Chains A and B, each alone.
Chain A
């Protein structure tokens, strides 16, 4: 069974940094792109970033480009999201999700999410 477990969320001041982790199990991690999606309070889903299975290709939403960095460690079956220069509008539940094999596509499954709150 595929499992994704996010961690690293919390309260951070504007301008601060946070690193999210997503530990994956139940599949061959290096064969799949991985993605972060967020949901701000009372808002819809927003795709944030994707990293290819090999880690050589990365993609970012305009809203986070230059501030967030996605990476992965295949020895630990973990994908990371380094978030710098955080703003109040980055407050959200952050989900990690698995892409289909060999492609950038739909998201399935999703982790339970981790809450990031940016506030002074």
Chain B
């Protein structure tokens, strides 16, 4: 199985400041034939279902604010919240779909400092 490891496990950021979450896969999730990275990011708030933010590592889902961005390739990826808002407090997960046995990172909790 492809193991996804996120860092940090939690972070506290001041309102309006940048939040950066890292995700590392145990093997490359870049599919050479189409040059796509098979990686998605989700936001999960208590009592709600997870919400898709990013797919193909950097494609923002429709309706997701542009302060959310994804980057990276191969085995190393980043989710950036450029200017943290109060409503962004949540747990964030990366997920690979390179393998049909999909796997998530352990999650990163984002709080307000």
Measured between alpha carbons, how far is A45 from B90 in the docked complex, in Å? 14
Is B72 at the interface (CB under 8 A from chain A)? no
* B31-54 to A contact mask, C-beta < 8 Å, 1/0: 000000010101010001111100
Docked-complex contact A46 and B49, CB < 8 angstroms: no
Chain B residues with CB below 8 A from A62, complex form: 1
Docked-complex contact B55 and A106, CB < 8 angstroms: yes
Docked-complex contact A106 and B97, CB < 8 angstroms: yes
When C-beta atoms are compared, the residue in chain A nearest to B54 turns out to be: A106
Q: Which of B94-111 contact A (CB under 8 A)?
A: 95, 97, 100-107
Binding site secondary structure of chain A: loop
Chain A residues with CB below 8 A from B61, complex form: 108
Chain A residues with CB below 8 A from B100, complex form: 50, 59, 104
Docked-complex contact A45 and B107, CB < 8 angstroms: yes
| Neighbour of B101 across the interface among A45, A59, A106, A107, CB < 8 A | A59
Measured between alpha carbons, how far is A92 from B107 in the docked complex, in Å? 16
When C-beta atoms are compared, the residue in chain B nearest to A107 turns out to be: B52
* B4-33 to A contact mask, C-beta < 8 Å, 1/0: 000000000000000000000000000000
Measured between alpha carbons, how far is A47 from B91 in the docked complex, in Å? 17
Docked-complex contact B49 and A44, CB < 8 angstroms: no
* A77-98 to B contact mask, C-beta < 8 Å, 1/0: 0000000000000000001000
Is B77 at the interface (CB under 8 A from chain A)? no
Docked-complex contact B55 and A105, CB < 8 angstroms: yes
Measured between alpha carbons, how far is A44 from B1 in the docked complex, in Å? 17
Q: A47-B102, A110-B50, A111-B49 are in contact. Are A105 and B107 (CB under 8 A)?
A: no
Chain B residues with CB below 8 A from A106, complex form: 40, 52, 55, 95, 97
Chain A residues with CB below 8 A from B38, complex form: 105
Chain B residues with CB below 8 A from A100, complex form: 55
5 A-B pairs with least C-beta separation: A110-B49, A106-B40, A108-B52, A44-B107, A47-B102
